[in-house]
Structure 1
Amino acid sequence: MPQPILLSGAFPAVLACGLGCSGPLSGIMVWGIGFENRTGPAVDAGGGGGSRMVPRARFPALSIGADFRRLWLAQALSSFGEYLFAGTSVVWVATSLFPDSPRLPALVGAVVLAAAVPRIVVGPLAGVYADRWCARRTMIVNDCLRAGLFTLLLGAVQVIRLTEVQIYAAILVCIVVSETSAQFFNPARAAVMHVAIPEDRRVDAASMSMFSLTGVAIIAAAAGPALFGIFGATVAISVCVVMYSASGVMVVRSGDHYQPARVAGNRFWRDFTEGVRATWRTPSLRIVVIGACLYGVSMGINNSVLALFGMKTLDLSAARYGLLAMMFPVGNMVSAVLGPRLIQRIGVDRAYPAALSALGLGYLVYACAGGLVTACVLMLACGVIFSIYIMCQGPIVQAAVPEGYMGRISAVLGPVVSIAAAVSTLCASQALSFAGARGVVVGEGGWDDPYRLLIMSGAAFLLIGGGGMAYAQARRDTVRGVADGVTSTGRA
């Protein structure tokens, strides 16, 4: 199960979003995409040359090729299924299975934990097998596995009279197996897209992925509880089956044009450690990992206190807090449309640390907000900046990773964020407990409010860390420029 979009805008799966979250619609027109006649060599990977109708306009990534569009759609469909069941399972447990149980918080926490454990434990290990196996076949098998899994759950709910405890156990099993399967699907997709996306189209592909995944997360996270409330679990589970089945069909239709080279051997731990070493020894990948850790710290703190800051410190009603919470994903989508040109002008290597530092500044100013309008504007700005940060990450990784290593390396990034977020969430919770034990009143709105101070501390990590990375990048650019100048002078 993916982590739901919170006000912090963090869902670890999206960290790999620019690594090749792609693949759509073959023959389907979506929002305002126009077409132009183009004569000459085929852009579509699946056919010959000649005159062709090529998507253009808002999302230039759609012109990369039909296989890319199918794979993009496969990613969107499978993500929809994940987010849908994520929202459904929590509501199912809280409103139908154990609504009056005093252990309800622990039961819901177990649902969240069931999704987090495979990301942290299985994710890095699954990348090794993603590099060994046929990437396309791995995607198909895991889509079929998830479709079959939810078909079994549907049959169990419809045919067998299960007790509440048995249904709860079945939900946990489905979450663990589905999320484990996703840990193999995601790096396999990243490996395919590493080959499929041309070097000069990586920012466009990352922009398209950011837009689609944000939209999918918003719609599916709302659709899951709505379908469960109106029609019950049967319809919600059926939609999951359809989504995974359709994703598998799109992967099958994509063909096998893009098969990354396999360099992994037969020794698991050697292959795994090679991937970790390659990640840390490559300067650009090391920067991505450090940036992911910094963001994970801020994310963990924000996941703990941003909602409380809004409803307690800012004294917002549930409806107004809902409006504030929507500003972050709206900023994501705006930036996904408008941000690629800015990134291409600045360069991904410079934009990445700058965006990280700017995000810290945005959260720092947000912690000083005193009203709804100011908070909404600042959260919208943070959403825009976060989207730029994510869109830079994929092209950097794709450019630095040698073919045959993408599965292992991409599978490292998500757990890095999850672990950093888990540690910072624990620290934030302990800090709030300590403040409460000392008689400190939280949420009163003063400058010494623990909610406000915790957000500022997470923002400081981003601001200082991103600033240091930006300074180091500027130094490297200066040294490289001097070296190039000396070389040119010597040749002259």
Structure 2
Amino acid sequence: MFPRFSKRLSSRPKLALPINRNYTLLWLGGTISLVGDVLFTMMLILWVGTLLQNQSAAPLAISGVVLASALPALLIGPLAGVFVDRWPKLRTMRLMDALRAVLVCTLLPISGPLPLPLAVRLTIIYLVVAAVSALSQFFTPATKAILKEVVPQEQLTRASALTVGAGVFSWAIGSACAGICYVSLGAGWAIALNAASYACSWVLIGRMRASAAERRASAQSTSLRRVLTELREGLRFIGGQLQLRTILLTESLYSFGWGIVSVLSLFYITQNIHVPMSLYGLFSTVAAIGGIVGTLLADRTAAKVEATSVYARASLFAGVIVVVSTVPNQAIIALLGFTLIGIVAQQAEVLVGPLVLLATPEQMVGRVFSTLGTATTLSSLLATFLGGYVSSTLLQGVVVHLPTGELNATNLLYIGAGVLIFVGGLHASRQFRKRQ
């Protein structure tokens, strides 16, 4: 099936290929794998919630899934970037796909009626999630690093737009199907589907034609001291490169601000603007719809205006929209605001990859992307914790009266998040002007 599909791609490039054969295979593999990941993650949350149904520890157990996924990004993310820079990219990606497929399948025995204590089931789930996430710290930077070999420089923005757009679409599809799959088919089928998605990615990436440099590359063994030295070199390079330093801070501020918005979205939507719980999904989906529109506009906008200016303006606009749409506490304004935020935020997200690749030599790409991923993950986790804590303690019961209405703790934290995102955009705008 797959060899025949690959021959069709090569024989009909204008009809089938977004950019070229290699990128199409990489894009398809990544998209299929991401749909499986989203389906798997949502299924795990439902599964753990069902295992602890009506128990007070259920929220903590579900948080454990998120924590198990995030910790590897913080603990090994930057170190993984060192190895990504040293190892052949295609072989690294295929190895990670194979290992992830095997790891996910280890959950199949405990998804059935096997008599196991609850604590043992949860421990196995957390360990598998952490291990899969650790392998992803190698896979994701490798996919971004190889873009420089696969895609011509003038088409990097288009490639990034297609990749980000597919990511938004994958989250929408995976989230929508997770509940249906879990209720109708059970946890075992969702586990099998995710393993199958890794297998599909493994096959498609294997059909890519490696460059001469990629074929000559070989995995290099090295000492821990050498790894740490190369990690420091990568961090020093980021610190000394204006464009990378600016993107790192701007993305961290955005992740922190959006983390606050995300963790409090349920309370804002259901309590502040009085939307029924049954319509909560609609408000959560409009940002994704806006994101798809934003990815479609990014390439066209960057072709007319310098990419750094588009990136900075999108961040500025996102911060303004968060503040402006929060204050009135009106459902229609909030719905429009979430849509616009999705559009401008994804425009900025599309441009991050090309801007990083253009500013980074090939031998440093893995370390730069890994460091960026670690910084944004840390910012998002801190925002999730601090947003919930401050809302429940320091600002609990605080009400600010304005002519437009009352602002409670959620409103105030949303305004603070918007200001942080705006400050990130302002910083980017000023720093990029210095470079000109």
Range that drifts further, 152-161 or 98-107: 152-161
Contact between 2:92 and 2:139, CA under 8 Å: does it hold in 1?
yes
Cα distance, 1:63 vs. partner? 4.1
| 1:454 corresponds to which of 382, 406, 413 | 413
Question: CA, structure 1 residues 278+359, in 2 after alignment: closer, same or farther (shift >3 Å)?
Answer: same
Q: CA RMSD in A?
A: 2.5
| Aligned pairs (5 A) from 1:473-492 | 473-477=432-436
Counterpart AA for 1:232: G
Question: Does residue 1:123 correspond to 2:83, yes or no?
Answer: no
Question: CA, structure 1 residues 259+165, in 2 after alignment: closer, same or farther (shift >3 Å)?
Answer: farther
Question: Does residue 1:434 correspond to 2:389, yes or no?
Answer: no
Cα distance, 1:335 vs. partner? 1.6
Counterpart AA for 1:427: L
Question: CA, structure 1 residues 149+452, in 2 after alignment: closer, same or farther (shift >3 Å)?
Answer: same
Question: CA, structure 1 residues 165+205, in 2 after alignment: closer, same or farther (shift >3 Å)?
Answer: same
Structure 1 partner of 2:39? 84
Please give the per-residue CA displacement for 1:320-356, whole angstroms capped at 9, x wherever unaligned. Answer: 3221111100001112123311122111111111111
Contact between 1:436 and 1:442, CA under 8 Å: does it hold in 2?
no
Structure 2 partner of 1:139? 93
> 3-state DSSP class of the match of 2:398?
coil
Cα distance, 1:314 vs. partner? 0.7
Structure 2 partner of 1:6? none
Higher helix share: 2
Cα distance, 1:442 vs. partner? 9.9
Structure 2 partner of 1:217? 171
Structure 2 partner of 1:8? none
Contact between 1:279 and 1:409, CA under 8 Å: does it hold in 2?
yes
Counterpart AA for 1:71: L
CA distance in 2 between partners of 1:142 and 1:161 (Å): 31
Question: CA, structure 1 residues 385+262, in 2 after alignment: closer, same or farther (shift >3 Å)?
Answer: farther
Contact between 1:335 and 1:388, CA under 8 Å: does it hold in 2?
yes
Cα distance, 1:441 vs. partner? 5.9
Cα distance, 1:27 vs. partner? 6.9
Cα distance, 1:26 vs. partner? 4.5
Question: Does residue 1:369 correspond to 2:328, yes or no?
Answer: yes
Question: Does residue 1:54 correspond to 2:54, yes or no?
Answer: no
Instruction: Report the TM-score when normalising by structure 1.
Output: 0.81
Contact between 2:149 and 2:211, CA under 8 Å: does it hold in 1?
no
Counterpart AA for 2:39: L
Q: Which runs of no fewer than 5 residues in structure 2 stay unpaired?
A: none
> 3-state DSSP class of the match of 1:186?
helix
CA distance in 1 between partners of 2:19 and 2:201 (Å): 19
* Count of matched residue pairs: 426
Counterpart AA for 2:299: P
Structure 2 partner of 1:467? 426
Question: CA, structure 1 residues 272+83, in 2 after alignment: closer, same or farther (shift >3 Å)?
Answer: same
Question: Does residue 1:73 correspond to 2:33, yes or no?
Answer: no
Contact between 2:294 and 2:346, CA under 8 Å: does it hold in 1?
yes
Question: CA, structure 1 residues 452+156, in 2 after alignment: closer, same or farther (shift >3 Å)?
Answer: closer
Q: Which runs of no fewer than 5 residues in structure 1 stay unpaired?
A: 1-24, 29-43, 57-61, 478-492
Cα distance, 1:265 vs. partner? 8.5
Please give the per-residue CA displacement for 1:93-130, whole angstroms capped at 9, x wherever unaligned. Answer: 112x1112221111111111111101111211111111
Counterpart AA for 1:174: V
CA distance in 2 between partners of 1:229 and 1:318 (Å): 20
Contact between 1:309 and 1:443, CA under 8 Å: does it hold in 2?
no
Structure 1 partner of 2:360? 401
CA distance in 2 between partners of 1:421 and 1:281 (Å): 25
Question: Does residue 1:306 correspond to 2:260, yes or no?
Answer: no
Question: Does residue 1:354 correspond to 2:313, yes or no?
Answer: yes
Contact between 1:132 and 1:265, CA under 8 Å: does it hold in 2?
no
Structure 2 partner of 1:246? 200
Cα distance, 1:404 vs. partner? 1.4
Please give the per-residue CA displacement for 1:446-479, whole angstroms capped at 9, x wherever unaligned. Answer: 44311111111111112233123213323432xx
CA distance in 1 between partners of 2:353 and 2:266 (Å): 29
Contact between 2:399 and 2:407, CA under 8 Å: does it hold in 1?
no
CA distance in 2 between partners of 1:263 and 1:405 (Å): 16
Counterpart AA for 1:79: L
CA distance in 2 between partners of 1:220 and 1:384 (Å): 20
Question: Does residue 1:319 correspond to 2:287, yes or no?
Answer: no
Structure 2 partner of 1:35? none
Contact between 1:355 and 1:386, CA under 8 Å: does it hold in 2?
yes
| 2:347 corresponds to which of 388, 392, 395 | 388
Question: CA, structure 1 residues 465+242, in 2 after alignment: closer, same or farther (shift >3 Å)?
Answer: closer
| Aligned pairs (5 A) from 1:227-246 | 227-246=181-200
Please give the per-residue CA displacement for 1:168-213, whole angstroms capped at 9, x wherever unaligned. Answer: 2221121011111111111121221122111100110011011111
Contact between 1:195 and 1:258, CA under 8 Å: does it hold in 2?
no
Contact between 1:316 and 1:372, CA under 8 Å: does it hold in 2?
yes
Please give the per-residue CA displacement for 1:397-453, whole angstroms capped at 9, x wherever unaligned. Answer: 01011011111111111111121222233332332233466x436999944311111
> 3-state DSSP class of the match of 1:279?
helix
Counterpart AA for 1:350: S
Contact between 2:247 and 2:428, CA under 8 Å: does it hold in 1?
no
CA distance in 2 between partners of 1:301 and 1:155 (Å): 37
CA distance in 2 between partners of 1:234 and 1:242 (Å): 12
Please give the per-residue CA displacement for 1:55-94, whole angstroms capped at 9, x wherever unaligned. Answer: 48xxxxx442111110111111221221111101010011
Between the aligned residues of both structures, percent identity stands at 25
Contact between 2:246 and 2:427, CA under 8 Å: does it hold in 1?
no
CA distance in 2 between partners of 1:150 and 1:426 (Å): 28
Please give the per-residue CA displacement for 1:285-308, whole angstroms capped at 9, x wherever unaligned. Answer: 111101111102202211222221
Cα distance, 1:277 vs. partner? 1.2
Question: CA, structure 1 residues 284+319, in 2 after alignment: closer, same or farther (shift >3 Å)?
Answer: same
> 3-state DSSP class of the match of 2:14?
strand
